[in-house]
Homo-oligomer: A and B are copies of this chain.
Amino acid sequence: MKAKRSNPTMKDVAREAGVALGTVSKVMNNIPVGAEYRVRVEEAAKKLGYQVNSYAKGLKTNHTGIVALIIPSVRHPFFGLLTDYICQVLMTRGMRTLLATTESDMEMENKCIRLAQQHKVEGIIALTYNPNIEMDEDVPFVSIDRFYTNRVPCVAADNYGGGQLAAEKLVELGARKLLFLRIGSSVIGEPDKREAGFESWCQLNKVPCHVIHLNDEDGFNPFYDFLRDHVRDGRPEYTGIFCSTDQLAVIIVKKLKEMGLSVPEDVQVIGFDGLMNFDETPYCSSIVQPVEKMAETAVDILLSEDRSKLPALTCLPVTYRPGGTTRDNEA
């Protein structure tokens, strides 16, 4: 471990380099000075361990170099992955990430936005649930997965197309009747389009399709009841299940096995997100969100110079990836 004394000032650097204070300031702010002066200042700064005080700089130029990321948590693998990419992309653009986790609490979301603004962040990227977000129009704001108004750019995966793709795949892989399952949050957001896309594809292609919204009160009973009520020759009739997330798909696969059904032999399951377990294998067959691309796009929009014509909603293409819960090899 090397230790350094507390930060010297620009004056100290000027004295060490034997140049005027203004020269040091120019070098620090990348304003052209003679090469010889630049070298002397840089060497003096290095010798003294001089560091730019971003706080003081931020106050003067209004560029703090900090972007706030407001997200429910990072322990969920989708949020973790998204946070990693956003943090990396911001770093390559010379920006730092101020992280605020909200646990999806709507009050906390507004609190975090207020705090971020107090810290003079240059922008906010947020994945929020509160429909009444209190944002400052002067602070660039990009929303992920939640559309507010045309004035707030939103970045999401193509959830609608993903729902269509899931239905198409299940039918292609042999399922004749399809089930859609979702759980939790009744907040209206982009991910709701997974269901809409799935249903519309089934309608268009005249494939029987049933939708179940699971809730905490009834647990998985509506799902069990439906499967048991729709049996032909001792086999389930609905053999293709699309779950709104990988997390739900993992749970449903477990429940099916507990019911004595084989996955993917008896019933095929597709999730949404495309997450990888930490042994680098997919959790399940899934519609993969382009997480890295979503992070890049959110940062690009947030930092774009011309804010007069930002896209209101950017939906990025998804893909299908087999992951052991569908009969892909037989198709």
Contacts and interface: CB of A to CB of B under 8 A. Distances in A.
Interface of A: 1-7, 51-56, 58-59, 64-66, 69, 73-77, 80-81, 83-84, 87-88, 91, 96-101, 103, 114-115, 117-120, 132-138, 148-149, 151-152, 246-247, 250-251, 254, 275, 277-279, 283
B98 A99 contact: yes
What is the total number of copies of this protein in its complex?
Answer: 2
A222 B329 CA distance: 33
A26 to B, nearest CB: 19
A88, A114, A138, A278, most chain B CB atoms within 10 A: A278
A122 to B, nearest CB: 11
Contacts of A76: 80, 278
> Is the contact region of chain A dominated by helix, strand, or loop, or is it mixed?
mixed
A268 to B, nearest CB: 19
Contacts of A51: 114, 117-118
A74 B84 contact: yes
Contacts of A100: 87, 91, 96-97
A32 to B, nearest CB: 23
A102 to B, nearest CB: 10
A51 B136 CA distance: 11
Given A58-B55, A118-B52, A250-B278, A136 B6 contact: yes
A286 to B, nearest CB: 13
B2 A132 contact: yes
Contacts of A73: 80, 84
Nearest to A2: B134
